[in-house]
Structure 1
Amino acid sequence: MRTGSRAFGRTGRGPVTALVSAALLASPLLAGTASADPKDESPKAPTPPAEMSKVGGDRLGVPGVQVDPKPGAPKLPGPDQITARSWIVSDADSGKVLAAKNPHWRLAPASTLKMLFADTLLPKFPKNQKHTVKPADLAGMGEGSSLVGIKENLTYTVHDLWLGVFLRSGNDAVRTLAAMNGGVEKTVAEMQKRANELNANDTHVVTPDGYDAPGQVSSAYDLSLFARAGLQNADFREYCSTARAQFPGEKGKGGKRAKFGIQNTNRLLSGDYDIKPYPGIAGVKNGSTTNAGATFTGVAQHGDRKLLVTVMNPQKKEHNQGYREAAKLLDWGFEASGKVQPVGRLVGPKSEEDGSDAGGNDDAKNGREQTQAALNAADTSGGAWTAVGITGGALVLLGVAVLGIHRRWPLPELVRGRRPRK
C-alpha cells in the first residue's frame, strides 16, 4: 500500500493508486464508508452519509449535487466528467457557493491539509529566519513521504522551507517547521484550534503534513475555508502561486551551497506533458495518498472574478484526472457567474461571524438565520456582490449580513501575468 503525501496524477513514479485503505475505512470518523459483500471480490464504493453538517446552508448537508440555475445558466459537467466523491465551487470573495456535491463528506485530505498548516504557522516566523536542521527534526515521517530534500545539519531560511512545503509538498519541510514551532504534537493541537476557529468542523487533525493516519479527515468545504483564510496572507499567496524556484542543496568544495531547481507539483500551475496550466490560476494546494486518492484545492481569477474549487477523490483513474475535473468546474463556474442562485456560503471564522453560531452548532438558529439572510440578499442582488469593493463610487446596499461577509473576506488581486487572454 503506497502512502505519503504526494502530488496526484504524476510523481515521476507512475500514476497514483486511489484505492481506499480497508483499515482506515473501519474508522468511525470516515462517514459513509462501505463494507464488503461476501459475494463480491471487492468492497462496494463508499456512499456519503444521509446527514452531514449544515454549516454554510442546509443544502450543503444534503447528499448529491446541489445547484440552482437561473434561465440561461450553463449546464454542469455530467457525472461521466466529474467523478470526484466530493467537490465545491465557490466565489472566493463573497463566499457564495455556486454548486457542490457532498461538500461536508468527511474524507482523508492528503497534502491539502498543508493549507491549514501554513495558515496556522506562517505568521510565526519571519522569512529570513534561519534554522539548522537536527536529526530529531526529521524523525517520524511516514514511509513514502514526499520530500523536497532537506538535509540534517544544514541551515535553511524560513523562506526556503515554505517553498519546500508549497512547491514539492515536502513532509521534511513541514516537520522542520513543526520542530521550530515546538514539535509535532504542539503543531497539530494549534492546527486543530485554528480549524475550529475557522468553523471547519469536519476536520480532525492527526498529522501536520496530511500523511494518512487513522481518524484524520477533512471535507471539500473545510479545505475551501482553509484556502480562503490562507489567501488573506501575502506570503501564502506568493508561495502557492510560485511555479518554479531554486532550493539550497548540499555544500560543495569551499563550503559553498549548491542549488537545484524545484517545480510546483500543482499541475494546473506548472503544467505537465498532457495538461496545460489553467488560465488565471494562482494556487492553492494538491495532494494524494493511498487513502485519500487525489485531492486538490485551486483558486483562479478571470477579470475581477475569483473562484475557489475543491475536488476530493475522483473515481476515474486517468492521468491528471483530478486537475481535469477541477479545470472543468472552474470553466463552468466562470461561465455560470451571475447565472445561478447560491446554494450556500463559505462562512467566516468565529471571530468574524458577529457572535452567531454559524459553525458552532449545525442546528443553531442564529447561524441558519444569518446564512439564509445572506443568501436571500444575494439572490436578489444580481451582480451587486462584485460591485462591492471594485467600484469607486457608491456601495450597493445588500443588507448587513451580505455586506459584512464581503468586507471581511475580499481577496486582493491574486496573481499577475496569469490572466486568460481575451
Structure 2
Amino acid sequence: MKVKTKNREISWLSFNARLLQEAADPEVPLLERLKFLAIFSSNLDEFFRVRVATLKRVEKVGKKGKKLIGEKPGEVLAEIQRIVLAQRADFDDIYQDIRKELERHKIFIVNETRLSESQQRFVRNYFRQEVRPNLIPLMIDQMDKFPRLKDHAIYLAVHLSAKAEPHKVKYALIELPTDTLDRFIVLPQSDDRKYIIMLDDVIRFGLEAMFHIFQFDEFKAYTIKLTRDAEMDIADDFSESLVLKVTKGLKQRKSGTPVRFVYDHQIPDDYLQYLIRNLKLDKTETNFIPGGRYHNFKDFMKFPRIGPKHWLYPPAPPLPHKDIGSQGSLFSIIQKQDMLLHYPYQTFDYVIDFLREAAIDPAVTSIKITLYRVASNSKVINALINAAKNGKAVTVSMELQARFDEEA
C-alpha cells in the first residue's frame, strides 16, 4: 500500500503559517503580534533563498527531478507560489488590523502625505542631516550597465516625470540604508498622540530635494526586493581547505540566481517590465510576488517600544536549580548525584561556571565539547580558551557550515 506523504516544502509553509495565526490572535500582546509578523517575513526570506532555490535547481535537471524528490518540481513550485500569495494577503490583512488597534490607542504609523507642518519641518531636517548623506541614488536609465541588486536589501524604484510632458520620464534606484539608520522614526509629540514614520517614507518625502536639478514635478517611489539563491555548493575537492571553499561560496552567494522578485503592486507596468528586462529576470527561474508599499517586515522586530507594558510579554528570568547553591564546587555536587538542567527555564550560568571551574581544576586534564552556534563574545569560548592556556587538552567539535553564519 502506497503511503501518502505531504511535500516537505508545502509542510514548511504550513508551519510558517502558524506565525500568522499568532499574529492574528487578539489575546497575544499587541507588539508581540508585530514580532510574529517579523519572524514570518524573515523565515520566508530564508525559505526562498534555500528551499525554493534548491527546487529550481532540481527542476533544471528535467525528468530526473521527479526521481530526486518523488514528484514534479514544477508542480511543487506552482503550489508554493499559490500558497505564498494567499499567505501574503492574510499577512496584509493582519498588519492592517494591528495598525487599527494601534490607532485606537492613539499611535499612528503615518506616511509622507499625512504630516502636519511641524512634522514636515522635522522630517525635512532629519532627511537633510541624517538620511541624505547615506543615500546613493543611481540614475539607472543613464547607466551602461544595470546595477546588481543585493540580496537582503530593499530599494526604492523612483519614477520622475513632468505633468506638462508626461512622456518625459527618468528612472532612479535608491537602496534603503537600513544598516546604518533605524527603519522607524518616532516623530516629536505635540499632543496625546504618538506618530511613527518609516525610513522609506522619509526618503519619499525628500525625493524632490534630492532630484531638484531635474525639471520634474512628480516624484513617485515603489519598493522592490530581490531574493537570490543562497544555497552553497561545497565540492569534495581535497586540494582546497574548507575555509577557502566557504569563502568562495560566500562570494558566489552575492551573485546567486534570483529566485524571488517582490514589488509594489502599484508600480506602473511599463516601469515593472523595464526592471524585469534589465535585471534579466526569467519567470521560469524567479517567483514574482506583487506586494504592498513596504517590504522586509523582519525589521518590525525593532519596532519602537511604545505603549503600555502589557503590549509585550513580561520578561521571564531563568530559575535557579533547587539543588545547586551559589557557593561550592559543581564537581562536588555532581559527584553526589546527577543534575538535570532544563534550558531556557533554568539559568545557563551553571554551564559557564562548570567550564570555568574545569579550566583551573588541577584534576582536569582534558575538555571535550560539541558546539553549534556561539555568541560573538562567547563566555563558553572564553572559558575554553582559559582552559587551554592552563594546559588542558581542549577538543571542540563545531558546525562550520551553519547556514548564514559561515562568515563568522
Shared fold, TM over 0.5: no
TM-score by length of 2: 0.24
Which is helix-richer, 1 or 2? 2
TM-score by length of 1: 0.24
Ranked by relative contact order (alpha carbons within 8 Å, sequence separation 6 or more), the top structure is 1
Higher-Rg structure is: 2
